């Protein structure tokens, strides 16, 4: 217990902030919206482990199919120079219905834009490739609306004690950092599925 006490504890996501809450329309959800298990990630687009996790999350969606949905929350870390701008680019793409396409592109091209002197030019080129309305995309990247989306996710993460990325939650319960590997995540999803089937939910 002493060891656990030393590590800052990440809290459960309160029911009022969970993606099941009807008011929470801003969440980015991939997979079956009515899936019994929700895997929620607080991620940073410039974080290499988040990039690796993005590929794994896609595998999980194929593997669990209608039983799983994945939610992405923006948690850009101050140490990553372009992370916040990347989050704004993803939100701006989201306003045109292409959040996940931009999410995938940002992670796929992470090594290119992370080191670029002007990452924004690359974000705009990705938006062009995705067929977005460029004038709208540029306006949206600078908009209060995009900033509010990123800040709101970040504030939720802060309130839960999130400090590192990716931080994962399964059905609102934090995944222990030691379990943040393919076997641990699968085991947590399976346990959540079992719990749901027992409760008849």
Judged by DSSP in three states, 31 sits in strand
**pLDDT over 50 (residue 22):** no
* pTM of the model as a whole: 0.89
**Which pLDDT score, from 0 to 100, does residue 17 have?**
67
Q: Domain 37-199 is classified in which CATH homologous superfamily?
A: Glutaredoxin (3.40.30.10)
**Which pLDDT score, from 0 to 100, does residue 19 have?**
62
For residue 54, count other CB atoms closer than 10 A to its CB. Answer: 21
Least confident of 4-18, 44-58, 99-113: 4-18
pLDDT per residue over 27-43, tens digit each? Answer: 899 999 999 999 999 99
Rounded-to-10 torsion of CA 194, 197, 198, 201 = 130
Residue ranges per structural domain of the chain: 37-199
Between 13 and 21, the more confident residue is 13
pLDDT per residue over 73-89, tens digit each? Answer: 999 999 999 999 999 99
Contacts of 165 (CB under 8 A, 6+ apart): 42, 43, 44, 47, 49, 50, 75, 77
Q: Are 112 and 122 in contact (CB under 8 A)?
A: yes
């Amino acid at each position: 217990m002493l060891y656990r006490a030393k590590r800052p504890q990440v809290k459960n996501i309160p029911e009022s902030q969970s993606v099941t809450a009807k008011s929470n329309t801003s969440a980015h959800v991939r997979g079956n919206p009515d899936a019994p298990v929700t895997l929620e990630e607080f991620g940073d687009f410039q974080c290499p482990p988040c990039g690796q996790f993005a590929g794994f999350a896609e595998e999980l969606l194929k593997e669990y199919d209608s039983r799983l949905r994945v939610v992405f929350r923006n948690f850009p870390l101050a140490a990553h120079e372009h992370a916040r701008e990347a989050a704004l680019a993803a939100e701006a793409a989201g306003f045109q219905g292409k959040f996940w396409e931009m999410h995938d592109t940002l992670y796929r091209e992470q090594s290119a834009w992370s080191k670029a002197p002007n990452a924004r030019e690359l974000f705009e080129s990705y938006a062009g490739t995705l067929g977005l309305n460029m004038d709208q995309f540029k306006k949206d990247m600078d908009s209060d609306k995009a900033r509010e989306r990123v800040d709101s996710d970040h504030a939720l993460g802060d309130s839960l004690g999130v400090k590192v990325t990716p931080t994962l939650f399964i059905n609102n319960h934090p995944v222990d950092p030691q379990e943040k590997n393919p076997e641990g995540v699968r085991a947590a999803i399976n346990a959540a599925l079992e719990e749901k089937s027992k409760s008849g939910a």
